[in-house]
Amino acid sequence: MTVFAPVQPRALPPHASSKAKAAPYTVCTPPAAPRRRSRSSLPNALACAKLAASKSNLKATVVPLRQQSHGSKFPAPTRKVHLPRHLPRPAIPLVSTEALAAIDPALQSVPLAYVHQKLDALRSHLIAGASSVSPASTAPPHGLPTEVELIVHDVPFGFTPTHMFAVMNARRSKAALYPFHHLVFAAHCANMPAIPAASTSTSAPSSSGHTVVPVVPLVLPSPETFPLIRDFIYTKRTDRLLSSLFPLPTPPSSTASHFFTPPPSPSSSGSSSPSSPATPGATTDTLSRALASTFTLQGLFERARSVHGLWANAVALGIADDELWRVMATAWEVVVNSIAISTGQPVQVQRPGPSRRESMP
Q: pLDDT by residue (tens digit) across 125-140?
A: 999 999 888 887 665 5
C-alpha to C-alpha distance for 213 and 344, rounded to whole angstroms:
52
Higher-pLDDT residue of 253, 313: 313
Higher-pLDDT residue of 359, 188: 188
**Whether residue 148 has pLDDT greater than 70:** yes
In this predicted structure, what is the pLDDT of residue 73? Answer: 45
Q: What is the 3-state secondary structure (H, E, C) of the chain?
A: CEECCCCCCCCCCCCCCCCCCCCEEEECCCCCCCCCCCCCCCCCCCCCCCCCCCCCCEEEEECCCCCCCCCCCCCCCCCCEECCCCCCCECCCCCCHHHHHHHCHHHCCCCHHHHHHHHHHCHHHHHHHHHCEEECCCCCCECCCCEEEEEECCCCCCCCCCEEEEEECCCCCEEEEEEECHHHHHCCECCCCCCCCCCHHHHCCCCCCEEEEEEEEEECCCHHHHHHHHHHHHHCCHHHHHHHHCCCCCCCCCCCHHHHCCCCCCCCCCCCCCCCCCCCHHHHHHHHHHHHHHCCHHHHHHHHHHHHHHHHHHHHHCECCHHHHHHHHHHHHHHHHHHHHHCCCCCCCCCCCCCCCECCC
In this predicted structure, what is the pLDDT of residue 310? Answer: 98
**Whether residue 275 has pLDDT greater than 80:** no
pLDDT-derived band at 120, boundaries 50, 70, 90: very high
Lowest mean pLDDT among 16-30, 65-79, 133-147, 235-249: 16-30
In this predicted structure, what is the pLDDT of residue 255? Answer: 44
**Whether residue 39 has pLDDT greater than 60:** no
In this predicted structure, what is the pLDDT of residue 31? Answer: 38
Higher-pLDDT residue of 45, 304: 304
Higher-pLDDT residue of 348, 51: 348
What percent of the chain stands above pLDDT 90?
40
Mean pLDDT of the chain: 73
In this predicted structure, what is the pLDDT of residue 6? Answer: 43
In this predicted structure, what is the pLDDT of residue 186? Answer: 95
C-alpha to C-alpha distance for 63 and 67, rounded to whole angstroms:
6
**Whether residue 114 has pLDDT greater than 60:** yes
What percent of the chain stands above pLDDT 70?
60
pTM over 0.85: no
Q: Is the distance from CB of 99 to CB of 105 less than 8 angstroms?
A: no
pLDDT-derived band at 352, boundaries 50, 70, 90: very low
**Whether residue 55 has pLDDT greater than 50:** no
pLDDT-derived band at 306, boundaries 50, 70, 90: very high
311-334 pLDDT, tens digit each:
999 999 999 999 999 999 999 999
In this predicted structure, what is the pLDDT of residue 44? Answer: 38
